[in-house]
Amino acid sequence: MGIFLSTPKTQKFSEDGENDRVRYGLSSTQGWPATMEDAAKRVERGNQSSSGSHSKPNHAFSIKEATVHDLQLAFERCQLTSRQLVEFYLGEIHRLNPLLRGVIEVNPDALYQADNADRERKAKAPGSLGGLHGIPVLLKDNIATKDKMSTTAGSLALLGSVVPRDAGVVTKLRKAGAIILGKASLSEWAHFRDNRAPSGWCARSGQGKNPYNLSADPCGSSSGSAISVAANMAAVSLGTETDGSILCPSSNNAIVGIKPTVGLTSRAGVIPITPRQDTVGPMCRTVADAVHVLDAIAGLDYNDKATIEASKYIPGGGYKQFLKPYGLKGKRLGLLRNIFFHFDNGSIFAEAFERHFSTLRQGGAVLVENLDESKFLAAYSSNTDFESVAMNAEFKLALNSYLKELVVSPVRSLKDIIAFNKKFSDLENTKEYGQQLFLDAEATNGIGKKEKEALLHLAKMSRDGLEKLMSENKLDVLLSPFSSASSVLAKGGYPGIIVPAGHDTEGVPFGICFAGLKGSEPTLIEIAYAFEQATRIRRPPPFTP
């Protein structure tokens, strides 16, 4: 990394990415490959199996759009190996990523892990015949891995840093036998550097592209996780959300995203914005896949105290038991038409959601529309952005704490990162995209009177808003289009699941979100799965590079 930082002019991003050593870097310990092709070759050279087998999967099995269940069945029937699966995804990354830029780096140990999974499956080792065993997972680049990969939040400032340990969710994935395929791109610093920066952009990988419409917003900040899964560059992925960062990119890329109750999944080892709102969740092509991942990553982690309290919400037997095709029956769904579903008559959105409301009713759900919308709006109305007031101070404290725990790091504080962005403004696009959120956060001085008042207001908003709406009307979920309700869920630490709902006139996907109170994931899964099975809207992107 020292070589890179000392010669920024020679490493400046090229327009087409062909000679960009940073964009497709594999490992800070192995030097920079010039292109993704070099990266793929390096992985291949370093991870040849002892058998040397590179046979293609059985012609009867198609990997594209395959679910976790499909893949496990193919393993069982000897139609596919984990090595073949990883090779397929590495090939798709090599083919598609120079355009889509959904992946920052691939794991040089991915094929080694795949060979190990194949050996365990052949030996019928405990835990090797199902779940996520042998399944490649792509991680958002703010989720730490103690391996040959970097964890940088998409920023050049953290290149060369060394984390003390795997993130809590990564530890759980490894225990489940999953293969860590690589790191997904993201809106840099989880889109908390400056609001001027476009969704999906980071210095390490450039601008991520929506595979359904290359000029459309991929949304963020978990943009790369969504892009990669949507375009079949990975089986499943993990994203993070503080306010909309799983739900929005999932909506825009026709995938399923689960924003769990805060604390249901560990945030330890995740580059933070605010522990009060941050959560880690699955981003997958189907509800069932997302639930498989949630089962693997949810649970207690003593490095994240919030998991101690939230673990009480995890049902015995896990979440797969709630994948019920008749899960809509008897459910009460709150519909705030004038707040969330106010579309022009005859518009593609109006027609699509009316069809979906009919589908929900036909499945046995009750859509509750006679709700006090003005009361709900009043609960969240304020002249002050209390979320930002609290978040600025929380971000500085949480980030500085994360940076100080790193074993090695070129930066040790938010102040250091601000200075880095000024010094290397040509690489970080600082003049164009700014860093105002960083500057606002750096100007804070802990949790003072103003911040404490903001926190009290946020708690009151949640009590008087969603909690009262749900309890007074005996609702199971609140419906919303796209990620429109993300701020409501963020303020209260509530969960939501988004499922593909259609495509607009430009071919850009959009989703429908099912939201609930803390710990309501079982109910949300029942509803989301039943809706998905009744509609089956997701389709792979049509483009070819």
pLDDT in tens, 270-329: 999 999 999 999 999 999 999 999 999 999 999 999 999 999 999 999 999 999 999 999
Which pair of tokens denotes residue 195? 């609001």
Which pair of tokens denotes residue 235? 């089986």
pLDDT of residue 437: 98
- Whole-angstrom distance, CA of residue 314 vs CA of residue 299: 7
**Of 221, 250, 266, 520, catalytic:** 221
pLDDT in tens, 92-110: 999 999 999 999 999 999 9
Cβ count within 10 A of residue 425:
15
Cα-based torsion angle of the residue sequence 529, 533, 536, 538 in order, rounded to the nearest 10 degrees: 30
**For the chain, domain boundaries:** 69-535
- Whole-angstrom distance, CA of residue 59 vs CA of residue 451: 60
Q: Name the helix (H) or strand (E) containing 280.
A: strand 279-284
Considering the four listed CATH numbers 2.170.190.11, 3.90.1300.10, 3.40.50.300, 3.20.20.150, the one that applies to the domain covering 69-535 is 3.90.1300.10
Residue 413: partners with Cβ closer than 8 Å, 6 or more residues away: 400, 403, 404
pLDDT in tens, 481-525: 999 999 999 999 999 999 999 999 999 999 999 999 999 999 999
181-192: burial string, b at 16+ Cβ within 10 Å, e else: bbbbbbbbbbbb
DSSP 465: I
pLDDT in tens, 3-61: 122 222 223 323 333 333 333 232 333 333 334 444 445 444 444 433 344 456 665 68
Cβ count within 10 A of residue 44:
14
pLDDT of residue 543: 72
Query: 326: number of CA atoms within 13 Å, CB side?
Result: 3
Angle at 382 between CA 381 and CA 387, to 5 degrees: 105
Backbone φ, ψ for residue 203 (5° rounding): -65, -30
**Of 27, 82, 140, 183, catalytic:** 140
Q: Name the helix (H) or strand (E) containing 76.
A: helix 68-76
Amino acid at 438: F
pLDDT of residue 58: 60
pLDDT of residue 55: 55
- Whole-angstrom distance, CA of residue 228 vs CA of residue 224: 6
Verify whether residue 221 is a known catalytic residue.
yes
Full-model pTM:
0.91
pLDDT in tens, 110-157: 999 999 999 999 999 999 999 999 999 999 999 999 999 999 999 999
pLDDT of residue 511: 98
Verify whether residue 140 is a known catalytic residue.
yes
**Of 28, 223, 245, 462, catalytic:** 245
